[in-house]
Structure 1
């Protein structure tokens, strides 16, 4: 039982990441591309600053010509109630990319007060105290 749990949680950490870890990776200058897999209307509404728009339905056709195969990929969609990022991660995996899914998606990125933009520029959002309480560090 313990070995099964170790394998399960190790696999989750290998294939999943979260908004604060992605933000930290951006800050460190790590090499990866962050893909917003939502439709055009959602992208226009707001997105992670620095993300690339590539809707899930277009990944198979467009990714090979625009993202080098050796470029690590992180995908996101709306939030935890949406499996769009899982579908996008599967599409990239089928093409041979190293891919991770950003759990929480755009919703939790925005709720943590991380940089977001829309078609007009930066969006100022207050931090949701349930996702990033002031004065507390998760230290996880």
Structure 2
């Protein structure tokens, strides 16, 4: 990342917060909420940053995805400031190719599969697994260690006791259920960093991982490594 990109991000953050901001000691995964930005200020910084970079918001509506971390802001600024460090090897790409690449990068930024989630949990990464289904469904069977936050019950009050530092992974039954998406939207709107579990509980079990609850299976079934790991 170039100095120009970091300076541009710092300039916009300082304008929004009304005070100097030293970004040098902060890692890219620093949550914007820890800097004092709520959801409205974050959106304001995003729009101002895009305008400063001369972005046509109508043409690049895909860029209006609310950032969660400093790294998100650096990536946005680098994309439109032509920062070579932010996009190595992407020079000479057509608009269609750039748009396609952005799409797939965003998928990886906002989705996670069962294998990666299992590995992250085993490595002790700082994340919280959220079951967005009903309390009854959670009691029947859920991913070990997951917390129950039915998406219909989510409010500022119900989220008040949760830290915004970890990454939150939302899930539901599977591809025939959109509770995980609704949960992710509400968490993201409240300033949390969120990813959605691909395939939900169905694919978690299909991959052979154990579950908890009344109908749980305590021993993981024979697991076949994901072919994408090769």
How does the TM-score come out when normalised to structure 1?
0.86
Aligned to 2:174: 79
Deviation at 1:137, TM superposition (A): 4.5
Q: Which SS does the other structure have where 2:170 is aligned?
A: strand
2:160 aligned to which of 64, 67, 79:
64
Higher helix share: 2
Structure number with higher strand proportion: 1
Quick check: 1:111 aligned with 2:206? Answer: yes
Long gaps (5+) in structure 1: none
CA positional deviation for 1:123: 3.4
Across the aligned residues of Structure 1 and Structure 2, the Cα RMSD in angstroms comes to 2.0
Structure 1 residue 138 corresponds to structure 2 residue 194: no
CA positional deviation for 1:120: 7.3
Q: 1:100 and 2:195 equivalent?
A: yes
In the alignment, structure 2 segments of 5+ residues that lack a partner are 1-95
Match of 2:140 in 1: 45
Tell me if the contact between 2:210 and 2:216 (Cα under 8 Å) persists in the aligned partners.
no
Which structure has the larger Rg over C-alpha atoms? 2
Name segments (4+ residues, structure 1) moved above 2 Å: 119-127
State the partner residue of 1:35.
130
Change (3 A) 1:25 1:125: closer
Instruction: Give TM-score scaled by structure 2 length.
Output: 0.54
Q: Secondary structure at the match of 2:160?
A: helix
Distance of 1:119 and 1:52 partners within structure 2: 15
Residue equivalent to 2:113: 18
- Residue 49 of structure 2 corresponds to none
The aligned length equals 134
Distance in 1 (CA, whole Å) between partners of 2:133 and 2:122 is: 24
Q: Is the 8 A contact 2:181 2:196 kept in 1?
A: yes
Deviations 1:25-68 (A, max 9, x none): 00110001000111012112211011111111122231222x11
Equivalent pair of 2:169/2:194 in contact (CA under 8 Å):
yes
Matched, 1:5 2:100: yes
